[in-house]
Amino acid sequence: HKILALVIILGFAFVVSCSKQSDTTVTPTTTGTTATYNDLWIPPTLTGTTFTLTLAKSTKQLRTGAVTNTYGYNGASFWGPTLIMNKGDLVKLNVTNNLSEATTTHWHGFHIPAIMDGGPHQLIEAGTTWSPSFEVKNNAGTYWYHPHLHEKTKEHLTYGAGGLIIIKDPIESALALPRTYGEDDIPLVLTSRNYTSTNAFDLSARAYGDYQLTNGTSSAQVSLPKQYVRLRILNAEIERGYNLGFSDNRTFYVIGNDGGLLDAPVAVTRVKMMVGERVEILVNLGNDAAGSSLDLKAYNSGQAFGFPGGEPNSTGDFGSLLNNTDFPVLHINVKAATPTAITALPAKLTTNTYWTTADVTNSRTITITGGQGATAFSFDNNLYGETKINQTIKLNAIEKWTITNNNIFGHSFHIHDIQFKIISRSSGAVGTHESGWKDTVYVPVGESVSVIAKFDDFASSTNAYMYHCHFSNHEDGGMMGQFLVTQ
């Protein structure tokens, strides 16, 4: 107990001495249940129409003792800047790879030509620059960029390569919503890691981290003004889902999904986010006293996502301190309101016109297979092949895809190029929290999920888009297929 107390005191002293360096954190304890917090790192923003990104190796003080080897874009020690783009802009990105090996950078959620997409085929060799350019066609919302090199995605993500993209448009800008970045509009990137005894990220089979990171900060805290605050949350995990809520079980409001605003705010006390999904939420801190605090927490996510027997704690490698438990992801200290405080919830946000079954011109099914014994998870008994085209879609088709999971494990299903509408879940109703435009959907065990999308604008007989499980270990294992959109 004396040693533990000493560790806590030393940790606290370190945090205090580092409190001005917001990108330097330390974790004196394991699960964040201690009262010692580190200030949440808010990634800097890049604006304009030309974006320069440089991915390089870095280090970060994540734990007491040795620093951890990490990757970051533009000098960040984990993760990278938030790109702010306007719908309708023609943007150019210069992405330089200063790692010692190839990588790729994918614009997750973007509706762009396949050759610009940054999937496994758009290699950026070490020491080179890739310069895609495209029109921003997506709605205002929260998107992200991350490496997508086949068999390396998990590794590159684990080291911290990634960043958020915020798209703005006139509809969103006209609403009375919080939008002062870092003040009442806060990016939250959730993930977790395991460490070796020398504080390196443990790249072995363990996909569920013991140590939670929010924007690359362990035991993160932030001061937020007593007013409506917007949180843009990304599940950037390897495998874990998050069943999120506040420690006093207060009601909060989902205003956006992967592909932009919902028609109107949806009141919830919990929101489930599987890997790759984004939600924008509004939480009212207006009735909280300045000086009070609360936590944003994950609540027994294994049970919430319907994993048989909960998240896999029992099978050695997968066991995690955080599985099937409640744990904080952000400690919130309430401070005085800002002069531009948003004090009311908008009744209406936008008018989306979703595809319905009546619009569908073609249907296909994708069956989750594999995963037994040493066999990797796959789709339709096909592992990813670099030159294997699994689906061919006619340009302008409105397609219904039904993803069927009579397998042994839940998966996070992502389609490049398009945003879809979830029209049914065989287990029951589609959640109101996932009723907007989506590019990633959770498919639990025993369930079939149907989504509808239009594959418009971009056709190519040679450049394919990906669909895959967003658990990066499954994706690396071959749970990925390719589709062409052709004239």
Judged by the rule CB under 6 A, the positions of this chain that interact with ligand C2O are 106, 108, 146, 148, 276, 414, 416, 466, 468, 470
CB–CB of 95/135 below 8 Å?
no
Stretch that binds Cu ion, among 203-211, 244-252, 312-320, 403-411 (CB under 5 A): 403-411
Closest by Cα among 367, 304, 353, 303 to 454: 353
Q: Find which of ligand C2O, Cu ion, none residue 414 binds, CB within 5 to 8 Å per kind.
A: ligand C2O
C-alpha count within 13 angstroms, C-beta hemisphere, residue 7: 13
Q: Is 469 in the site for Cu ion (CB under 5 A)?
A: yes
- Grouping H, G, I as helix, E, B as strand and the rest as coil, residue 475 is helix
For ligand C2O, the closer CB: 226 or 414: 414
For ligand C2O, the closer CB: 110 or 181: 110
Q: Is 146 in the site for Cu ion (CB under 5 A)?
A: no
Q: Find which of Cu ion, ligand C2O, none residue 474 binds, CB within 5 to 8 Å per kind.
A: Cu ion
CB of 147 to ligand C2O, least distance (A): 9
- Grouping H, G, I as helix, E, B as strand and the rest as coil, residue 247 is coil
DSSP 284-314: E-TTSPTT-EEEEEEE-HHHHTT-TTSSS-S
Give φ, ψ of 396 to 5 degrees.
75, 5
Q: Is 470 in the site for Cu ion (CB under 5 A)?
A: no
| Angstrom distance (rounded) from CA 162 to CA 447 | 31
Stretch that binds Cu ion, among 34-42, 192-200, 423-431, 471-479 (CB under 5 A): 471-479
CB–CB of 206/318 below 8 Å?
yes
Can you state the percent helix, strand and coil of the chain, rounding each to 5? 10, 40, 50
Q: Find which of ligand C2O, Cu ion, none residue 276 binds, CB within 5 to 8 Å per kind.
A: ligand C2O
Q: Find which of ligand C2O, Cu ion, none residue 469 binds, CB within 5 to 8 Å per kind.
A: Cu ion
CB of 284 to Cu ion, least distance (A): 36
CB–CB of 237/213 below 8 Å?
no
Q: Pattern of binders to Cu ion over 407-446, x per CB under 5 A?
A: ----x-----------------------------------
- Grouping H, G, I as helix, E, B as strand and the rest as coil, residue 220 is strand
CB–CB of 290/335 below 8 Å?
yes
CB of 106 to ligand C2O, least distance (A): 5
Q: Which residue is nearest to Cu ion (CB)?
A: 469
Residues forming contacts to Cu ion in the complex (CB under 5 A) are: 411, 469, 471, 474
